[in-house]
Each structure stands twice: as C-alpha cells, then as structure tokens.
Amino acid sequence: MSIEEAFGQVLKEERIRMKFSQEGLAHSCDLDRTYISLIERGKRKPTINTVFALAKPLEVSPHILLKKTEELLR
C-alpha cells in the first residue's frame, strides 16, 4: 500500500464517521468533489494546506490523520 492509498483510506473512514458525502466534505473545505475522490483513491497527493483544510470539518487534528496513515503503513 502506498502512502497516498493509506491516507485516502483514512480520509474516507473519517469522512464516513462524520457522515459527510464527498461533496459535503469538499464544500466545507472549499475543494472540488472530484479532488476528494482522487485523494480517497490514492490518485492525488494532498499538500499540507489541504490536510489542514480536510481536518477541520472532520473535527480531527491534522496529526491524527497522519498518525492513522502511518499506522496503516506498518
């Protein structure tokens, strides 16, 4: 599993936990829905700014998203 795929899986789990659709999460982050889909499928590498933007509506610290990603890679 790549880093991108692991982060995408974590993002999807957190999005579902908060009951967001991809479109709803994208809207709350001022991102495009297709970009959320691409991240979740491991097709895009989000910037640090994007990680922070995603974390806010998910009500989680950015470091938690990265920690969960790291745990998946172990």
The predicted pLDDT at position 31 comes to 96
Could you give the number of structural domains in the chain?
A: 1
pTM as predicted: 0.93
The predicted pLDDT at position 51 comes to 97
Sequence-distant (≥ 6) Cβ neighbours of residue 71 within 8 angstroms: none
Render pLDDT for 10-54 as a digit per residue (tens, 0 to 9). Answer: 999 999 999 999 999 999 999 999 999 999 999 999 999 999 999
Q: Closest Cα partner for 25 from 50, 57, 72, 66?
A: 57
Residue 24 maps to which CATH number?
1.10.260.40
Tell me the residue range of the domain where 17 lies. 3-73
The confidence band for 55, taking pLDDT boundaries of 50, 70 and 90, is very high
The predicted pLDDT at position 52 comes to 97
